[in-house]
């Protein structure tokens, strides 16, 4: 069981980016019509859908002498296929000036999130069913669709591409060995919140923690987070990572025992800079 004290800062950052790759690419590797390039110097994920949440570039280890050319290759690829994408810049990505090179290539900074990590054996527990919330791991196509409905609602109006992604990816996601665990929170039979846990890099990562707007500030997101972490601990995992946005999000996760370890910044082409990400 991996714990924070067992890892150097570099080890932790490597584990986090390996987990990000699993989150970003595992479904796409296994779904017809989707495409993943896992090269020595970067990972490129193309879902085949016009949504930059599912078209991602990450784990960049570019040689300084050819970095501009490599970035241009990526930009040209997505321009040629006519799909938006996001480039996630993590602490160990290279060269050190990669962020500036992405700006020079016409991308824009979309958002920066704080990477945080926590030992699961010191997890600060709390309530799992506030307001009657019932949390279930998605085990059927209908429950995957409920998960997708919550994620799609992060856009206004809800994004049909999110619904389509999870429809296409459901066979992979429902495999008993899938490293992506999807959870849905219900009030009665109404899906109101969702979250994803990804196993990868020797750690578990939390993603897509979402609550429908009408049901926020009731503790549902925190309850889902806690349920995922407890399930991971029960399966023998010792360390969790996530990306927190804004002071409110950082505060919620700090109260659960998470500590910061670095920043992750999302870049997008200028013509897709707003309104295409969850």
Is the predicted pLDDT of residue 79 greater than 70, yes or no? Answer: yes
Is the predicted pLDDT of residue 275 greater than 60, yes or no? Answer: no
User: What percent of the chain shows pLDDT beyond 70?
Assistant: 96
Per the structure block, which two tokens stand in for 187? 């009030």
Q: At 276, is the pLDDT very low, low, confident or very high (cuts 50, 70, 90)?
A: very low
**Candidate from 16-25, 193-202, 249-258, 269-278 with smallest mean pLDDT:** 269-278
Q: At 150, is the pLDDT very low, low, confident or very high (cuts 50, 70, 90)?
A: very high
Is the predicted pLDDT of residue 126 greater than 90, yes or no? Answer: no
- The average pLDDT across 24-28 equals 98
Structural domains for the chain: 7-113+264-272 (3.40.630), 119-262 (3.40.630.30)
Query: Which positions ≥6 away from 77 have C-beta within 8 Å?
Result: 44, 46
CA-CA distance, 266 to 198, in Å (whole number)? 19
Predicted confidence at residue 273, as pLDDT, reads 41
Predicted confidence at residue 271, as pLDDT, reads 66
pLDDT tens for each residue of 176-220: 999 999 999 999 999 999 999 999 999 999 999 999 999 998 889
- The average pLDDT across 98-119 equals 97
Per the structure block, which two tokens stand in for 31? 């779904």
Q: In the beta sheet, which residues pair with residue 267? A: 87, 109
Q: Model pTM?
A: 0.93
Q: At 125, is the pLDDT very low, low, confident or very high (cuts 50, 70, 90)?
A: low
DSSP sequence for the chain: ---GGG--HHHHHHHHHHHHHHHHHHHHHTSTT-EEEE-SS-EEEE-SSS-TTSSEEE--B--GGGHHHHHHHHHHHHHHHT---EEEE-TT-BSTTHHHHHHHTTEEEEEEEEEEEEEGGG-----S-GGG-EEEE--SHHHHHHHHHHHHTTSSSPPHHHHHHHHHHHHHHTSTT-SEEEEEEEETTEEEEEEEEEEETTEEEEEEEEE-GGG-SSSHHHHHHHHHHHHHHHTT--EEEEEE-HHHHHHHHHHTT-EEEEEEEEEEEGGG-SSS--
CA-CA distance, 66 to 68, in Å (whole number)? 6
- The average pLDDT across 59-88 equals 98
Per the structure block, which two tokens stand in for 54? 């599912």
Per the structure block, which two tokens stand in for 278? 């969850």
């Amino acid at each position: 069981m991996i714990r924070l004290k067992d890892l150097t800062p570099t080890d932790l950052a490597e584990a986090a980016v390996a987990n990000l790759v699993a989150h970003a690419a595992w479904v796409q590797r296994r779904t017809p019509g989707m495409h993943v390039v896992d090269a020595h110097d970067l990972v490129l994920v193309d879902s085949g859908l016009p949504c930059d949440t599912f078209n991602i570039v990450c784990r960049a280890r570019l040689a300084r002498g050819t970095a501009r050319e490599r970035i241009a290759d990526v930009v040209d690829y997505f321009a040629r296929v006519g799909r938006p994408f996001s480039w996630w810049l993590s602490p160990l990505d290279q060269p050190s000036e990669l962020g500036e090179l992405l700006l020079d290539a016409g991308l824009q900074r979309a958002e920066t999130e704080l990477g945080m990590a926590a030992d699961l054996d010191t997890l600060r527990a709390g309530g799992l069913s506030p307001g009657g919330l019932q949390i279930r791991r998605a085990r059927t196509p209908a429950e995957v669709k409920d998960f997708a409905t919550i994620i799609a609602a992060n856009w206004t109006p809800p994004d049909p591409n999110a619904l389509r992604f999870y429809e296409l990816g459901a066979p992979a996601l429902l495999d008993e060995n899938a490293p992506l665990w999807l959870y849905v929170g219900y009030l009665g039979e109404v899906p109101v919140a969702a979250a994803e846990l990804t196993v990868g890099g020797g750690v578990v990562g939390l993603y897509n923690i979402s609550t429908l707007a009408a049901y926020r500030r009731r503790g549902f997101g925190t309850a889902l987070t806690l349920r995922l972490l407890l399930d991971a601990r029960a399966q023998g995992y010792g360390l969790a990572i996530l990306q927190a946005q804004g002071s409110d999000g950082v505060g919620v996760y700090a109260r659960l025992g998470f500590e910061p370890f670095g920043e992750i910044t999302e870049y997008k082409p200028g013509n897709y800079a707003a309104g295409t990400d969850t």
